Structure 1
Amino acid sequence: MKGRRRWCWRGEHRRLALLLALYTLLLLLLVPYVLDYGARRARADEEPLLRRCPSLEEALSEWGWEQRPPPPGDDDDDDEDAAAAAGNGSGAGKRHIYLHATWRTGSSFLGELFNQHPDVFYLYEPMWHLWQALYPGDALSLQGALRDMLRALFRCDFSVLRLYAAPAAPRDPLGAAPPAANLTTAGIFGWRTNKVICSAPLCPAAPRPRREIGLVDGAACEQRCPPRALRELEAECRKYPVVVIKDVRLLELGALLPLLREPGLNLRVVQLFRDPRAVHNSRLKAKQALLRESIQVLRSRHRAEPRGPPRPQQPPLPPGLGLLGAGRAPAQHRAEFFLGGALEVICQAWLRDLLLARRNPAALRRRYTQLRYEDLVREPRAQLRRLLRFAGLPVPPAMEAFVVNMTRGAAYSSERPFLISARDAREAVHAWRERLSRQQVRQVEAACGEAMSLLAYPLSAGERR
């Protein structure tokens, strides 16, 4: 009897061991299948998008990039530990942040947050000088020059500005630049609102100290702060642990990949997006000021198209905008046509950037983050903390109060569209619904639908697919 019980117990033990072995084998087979299915599903989702945008592979090859495995030891845990250390203020070495955006996405507001931080040396759109000097060069052909200029500026070498500085056009809303031979701090685009230029030691008579949070009074800065030599500005740049540059003229994220791989540069990229319908609405309000830049962007279309399949037929031109009649069309219609065409090129560039980010190349891993303008103005405190943590910066309480006040203004915008001021965030997010016609909304959604889908911007009720 005892032997029979022992035999039965052994039999049950064998069955249990067999079931455990079969369960383990099933898990080993099932997990790779699920992962492979997810990867195949993601690739299938991307294929229609790749057919609608210029070839991502060829675009990347232009920047000398290829998919390579991360170097040994560069695993996720190590990078997360390094990011955590940077977030605690103990990140070693100088950090460089590029704010990658386009016109009328709220990039000036985003840049102002970094301009206010006491540990940041900030430059506002320095590539404006290059675009003005090389006009009418198209946006795509200028990407290499922009990247080289970024490299020099991040290393606090401002002599590169002398290559492109020239007297500013009368329409410049942020100040004129003197001839290159006499270039000073007063020739830096946007210098009147720069916290470093408009505070001690460059400006001993500044109305407020550098560490005090608050917008710079441009008129007071111009009156109290005399021009200083660029070498003095370079010396100040070297003192700061973080250098931030905001610009709107770099068309493709791929152009930054060589800088992201460059040893010692420690570059990080924040890419700002905004609902294209809101972007178009805002661009229409400043269409004359943006006309020249829109033409430069639109000129890139013929260079981007050969990299992909034939584009769908474009909508008919507005009256008077034929090849022979463009000069006779009303100026307002011409401006709207150029702005709309430029937005389509920008949305295609967004789509390429989003697909590149989804592929998660090693150069972008943990050095790149995305931000939607709508999230920034709806959740200002949370997004500010996330941005500063990404940059390895502390979060001063005064900056939290500043970002909340800047998103709780009384109105959507001022009469001067390039002026940084407090806005009503809710109005800024939804203003396009009241100001754009149905036809304008349909045109924007037709041109930007794929990028909007990846960015989780729903189509309007009558246009959902």
Structure 2
Amino acid sequence: MKGRRRWRWRWRWQPRRFPLLLALYTLLLLLVPYALDHGAEELPPPPPRCPSLEEALGEWRWEGPEEGERPTAAGNGSGKRHIYLHATWRTGSSFLGELFNQHPDVFYLYEPMWHLWQALYPADALSLQGALRDMLRSLFRCDFSVLRLYAAPPGPRDPLAPAPAGGNLTTASLFGWRTNRVVCSAPLCPAAPRPRHHVGLIDGAACERTCPPRALRELEAECRKYPVVVIKDVRLLELGALLPLLREPGLDLRVIQLFRDPRAVHNSRLKAKQALLRESIQVLRSRHRAEPRGLPRRQLLPLGGGDRAAPQAQQHRAEFFLSGALEVICQAWLRDLLGSRHAPAWLRRRYTQLRYEDLVREPRAQLRRLLRFAGLSAPPALESFALNMTRGAAYSSDRPFLISARDAREAIHAWRERLSREQVRQVEAACGEAMSLLSYPPSAEPGGAAGERDSS
């Protein structure tokens, strides 16, 4: 009798057991993520760290080329040299580029990759590195047809209308053409008031008034006449992206990388925050792609409020984007610094570094060093020009992108008076490793004159 009741109870329980087990299993699956999240909240965040050498160098393959493809000292055989000025926004790169623009043996292009960034906005900076490199390769070979992919003819045009035959691109379509020494002098501009070899800033309004637009093929023909082609740009995020070009024996590419005290960079960027908003967003969007590569991450406070503003106060969104972009830029600097210090000998011969502070404090000595690196002569008029450009009466004008004579000492130290102590602390926390490698002492050091190696 008992066995029959036990069998009957087991028979009744059997169909109910499976739904009950399924419900318990589902409940367990729901509780596991909650338990993991709850535990993660209690764990302290991992301490920031400097990326290991393997992490910093592995992705771009810094090892040298095979012996058969090793670049030779003769370069491309024709003696033509190509110089890339590797910099970021507000580091003084326009002044550095202008020194090469003034040289009579240089064909100079000012930020031609601006067109690519505008056309592909809002793509993040890292995803554009390959396109930037390919564009550089074409421009260095005096092939400007690549601009037809990104540059638009000047003036309004119906976006739905078919493009004009041949693209209708001229020198007036080129970014920065109004101050380009080749565009604004003969033979492209027969009515130019000054000859090509004259050293001095170009009046952009006068160039626009007297120099008619010329076809890009005419600019290409002029490019081929010059022994040195120099391109200055601020949109190549990492030096490693240039390695395929540096390995090309027929290109003879050399890189000058410009650095500046990050505190001065941020102070200067705040003055032009609206103009740099789009670029800052593109750089900032690279942060999440950079994190899996072992880069340190710190969160900068939104800057620009001064001592009177609370650190947690709501700031203008442009200042927030600029703060985050500076963090990403300092991480890229750190990778470049680590990579260059462990690069093979052939690559170190093709790469040199320059601090903006050294350039404006010793303009003639640094200019001679850079021209020697580029295989160029040092005309006395150009040395005088460099000196006069660093002996201006003030730090800057109301137009931050205008090239003009500056007071070098004030340009170096202006951030001390314009950034709050909290702003300085946050920049130093985010950029500390790169600052240390570049010999920028923290402001807290007794007697430390940030950005200087001597007491001048």
Q: Which TM-score bucket, shorter chain as reference?
A: 0.7 to 0.9
**Counterparts in 2 of 1:315 and 1:162: CA distance versus 1, 3 Å:** closer
Report which of the two structures shows the higher radius of gyration computed on alpha carbons: 2
2:150 corresponding residue in structure 1: 164
Determine helix, strand or coil for the equivalent of 1:52.
Answer: coil
Q: Which one of 152, 175, 179 corresponds to residue 189 of structure 1?
A: 175
Q: Which one of 48, 52, 59 corresponds to residue 49 of structure 2?
A: 52
**Counterparts in 2 of 1:260 and 1:297: CA distance versus 1, 3 Å:** same
Distance 1:96 1:112 in 2: 16
Distance 1:267 1:309 in 2: 28
Q: Which one of 250, 254, 261 corresponds to residue 240 of structure 2?
A: 254
**Counterparts in 2 of 1:183 and 1:56: CA distance versus 1, 3 Å:** farther
1:101 is the counterpart of 2:87: yes
1:426 is the counterpart of 2:409: yes
For residues 422-461 of structure 1, the aligned pairs below 5 Å read: 422-461=405-444
Q: Is the 8 A contact 1:294 1:339 kept in 2?
A: yes
Distance 1:169 1:455 in 2: 44
Q: Give the letter for the 1:225 counterpart.
A: C
What's the offset of the Cα at 1:68? 3.7
2:292 corresponding residue in structure 1: 306
1:265 is the counterpart of 2:265: no
**Partner deviation per Cα, 1:394-430 (whole Å, 9 max, x = no partner):** 0101001100100000010001000000000000000
Q: Is the 8 A contact 1:167 1:179 kept in 2?
A: no
Distance 1:134 1:59 in 2: 27
2:45 corresponding residue in structure 1: none
Q: Which moved more, 1:53-62 or 1:264-273?
A: 53-62
Q: Give the letter for the 1:433 counterpart.
A: R
Kindly, what percent of the aligned residue pairs are identical?
Answer: 84
Distance 2:359 2:172 in 1: 31
Distance 1:400 1:166 in 2: 37
1:67 corresponding residue in structure 2: 63
**Counterparts in 2 of 1:437 and 1:300: CA distance versus 1, 3 Å:** same
What's the offset of the Cα at 1:434? 0.5
1:140 corresponding residue in structure 2: 126
Q: Which one of 362, 372, 380 corresponds to residue 379 of structure 1?
A: 362
What's the offset of the Cα at 1:92? 5.7
1:404 corresponding residue in structure 2: 387
What's the offset of the Cα at 1:66? 4.6
1:29 corresponding residue in structure 2: none
**Counterparts in 2 of 1:106 and 1:316: CA distance versus 1, 3 Å:** closer
Q: Is the 8 A contact 2:124 2:282 kept in 1?
A: yes
1:291 is the counterpart of 2:274: no
Q: Which one of 181, 192, 202 corresponds to residue 206 of structure 1?
A: 192
Distance 1:398 1:433 in 2: 34
**Counterparts in 2 of 1:168 and 1:134: CA distance versus 1, 3 Å:** farther
1:221 corresponding residue in structure 2: 207
Q: Which one of 315, 336, 361 corresponds to residue 353 of structure 1?
A: 336
**Partner deviation per Cα, 1:228-268 (whole Å, 9 max, x = no partner):** 00000000000000000000000000001110001210000
Determine helix, strand or coil for the equivalent of 2:112.
Answer: coil
Determine helix, strand or coil for the equivalent of 1:352.
Answer: helix
Q: Give the letter for the 2:442 counterpart.
A: L
**Counterparts in 2 of 1:162 and 1:180: CA distance versus 1, 3 Å:** farther
**Counterparts in 2 of 1:383 and 1:244: CA distance versus 1, 3 Å:** same
What's the offset of the Cα at 1:57? 3.9
Distance 1:344 1:307 in 2: 15
Distance 1:310 1:407 in 2: 35
What's the offset of the Cα at 1:53? 4.5
Q: Is the 8 A contact 2:389 2:406 kept in 1?
A: yes
Q: Give the letter for the 1:423 counterpart.
A: R
1:15 corresponding residue in structure 2: none
Larger helix share, 1 or 2: 1
Q: Which moved more, 1:159-168 or 1:225-234?
A: 159-168
What's the offset of the Cα at 1:181? 1.8
Q: Which runs of 5+ in 1 are unaligned?
A: 1-50, 84-90, 171-177, 319-328
Q: Which runs of 5+ in 2 are unaligned?
A: 1-47, 157-163, 304-312, 449-456
Determine helix, strand or coil for the equivalent of 2:275.
Answer: helix
Distance 1:335 1:120 in 2: 37
Q: Is the 8 A contact 2:109 2:180 kept in 1?
A: yes
2:454 corresponding residue in structure 1: none
What's the offset of the Cα at 1:316? 6.7
**Counterparts in 2 of 1:431 and 1:317: CA distance versus 1, 3 Å:** closer
**Counterparts in 2 of 1:425 and 1:180: CA distance versus 1, 3 Å:** farther
2:374 corresponding residue in structure 1: 391
CA RMSD of aligned residues (A): 2.8
Q: TM-score, normalised by structure 2?
A: 0.79
Distance 1:59 1:460 in 2: 27
What's the offset of the Cα at 1:307? 1.2
Distance 1:365 1:71 in 2: 16
Q: Is the 8 A contact 1:165 1:180 kept in 2?
A: no
Q: Give the letter for the 2:49 counterpart.
A: R
What's the offset of the Cα at 1:333? 1.8
Distance 1:182 1:234 in 2: 15
**Partner deviation per Cα, 1:284-336 (whole Å, 9 max, x = no partner):** 00000001100000000000001117745x36779xxxxxxxxxx97x62111
Distance 1:405 1:202 in 2: 28
2:398 corresponding residue in structure 1: 415
Distance 2:402 2:442 in 1: 30
Distance 2:145 2:439 in 1: 42
Q: Is the 8 A contact 1:55 1:307 kept in 2?
A: no
1:150 is the counterpart of 2:136: yes
Q: Give the letter for the 2:209 counterpart.
A: Q
Distance 2:296 2:235 in 1: 26
